[in-house]
Amino acid sequence: MSNVRLCAAAILAIGVGGGISHAQSARDAWLTQNYRFTGPPAPGSVQPADPVVSELWRIQDNMHWMMWRARQDEDYWTALAAAAQMSNNVLAIGAVTEHREVVAAAKAAAAQAKANTPTPIYLVAFRDHTIVLASRYWTEGQMLHYVTPEGTHIQVRLDTVDRDLSVRLNQELHLEFRLPE
């Protein structure tokens, strides 16, 4: 007898579970038919929220609630004060957002100008009649360090450099090339 009850309970559970599964699949079908699920946003596409603007929007929500409550209580002076504050908040949000956009545009313009500025290429002449290109150079003691345009760091002794020819070649390119004596 207890086995019969157990089997009946199992059949009932399977039947109810099947009904839930059917209801859930119908709901899922409705959701996928009526909503477009795109997944998470692409990395870097969501910008962090500005804390000042976020706080102003929080105040806006509170003012909206106060205005609604004042209207329900027929307290029109409070509703007018809340509306005035909301108007001021909108102006402040616009000013802060515009300022942030101007600063971001200025930074982008500065980065673009820096990227468009060509780096000078120096000519370093050696006593063995070779000439190399250098995007940067510096000296440490009796050593000349230079970086090739490809980014390779090279160091040579200063006494192997033809100073006069190096200075003259760079003057023709309107570049100042100085080596310590």
Sequential pLDDT tens for the chain (181 residues): 455 555 555 554 455 444 455 566 777 777 777 777 677 777 877 777 788 888 888 888 888 898 889 888 988 898 888 888 888 888 888 888 888 888 888 888 888 877 777 788 999 999 998 999 999 999 999 999 999 988 899 999 999 999 999 999 999 989 999 988 7
pLDDT of residue 170: 92
Same domain, yes or no: 162 and 133: yes
Structure tokens given for 14? 């399977």
Residues 133 and 88 in one domain: no
Residue 144 near residue 158 (C-beta atoms within 8 A): yes
The pLDDT of residue 71 is 87
Are 91 and 135 within one domain?
Answer: no
List the CATH number of the domain containing 127. 2.30.30
Q: Confirm whether 9 is domain-assigned.
A: no
SS3 151: coil
Q: Residue 117 has which token pair?
A: 């500025």
pLDDT of residue 144: 94
Whether 151 is covered by a domain: the verdict is: yes
> Is 6 part of a structural domain of the chain?
no
151 and 129 in a single domain? The answer is yes
| Residues 55 and 109 placed together within one structural domain of the fold | yes
Question: pTM to 2 decimals?
Answer: 0.41
Q: Count CB neighbours of 170 within 10 A.
A: 20
Domain shared by 110 and 126, yes or no: no
The per-residue pLDDT for 3 is 56
pLDDT at 7: 52
Residue 27: inside a domain: no
Phi, psi of 46, rounded to the nearest 5 degrees: -100, 120
pLDDT computed for residue 97 by the predictor: 85
**Residue 105's domain spans which residues?**
51-116
Number of domains in the chain: 2
Q: Is there a single domain that holds both residue 63 and residue 91?
A: yes
Quote the pLDDT of residue 21. 55
Q: Are residues 105 and 81 in the same domain?
A: yes
Q: Note whether residue 17 is domain-resident.
A: no
Same domain, 97 and 82: yes
- Residue ranges of alpha helices (H) inside the chain are 2-34, 51-72, 76-116, 163-172
Asked if 102 and 131 sit in the same domain, the reply is no
The residue among 98, 116, 134 that closes a domain is 116
Task: Let me know whether 99 and 146 are in one domain.
Answer: no
Same domain, 91 and 128: no
Burial 141-158 (b: 16+ CB within 10 A, else e): eeebebeeeeeeeeeeee
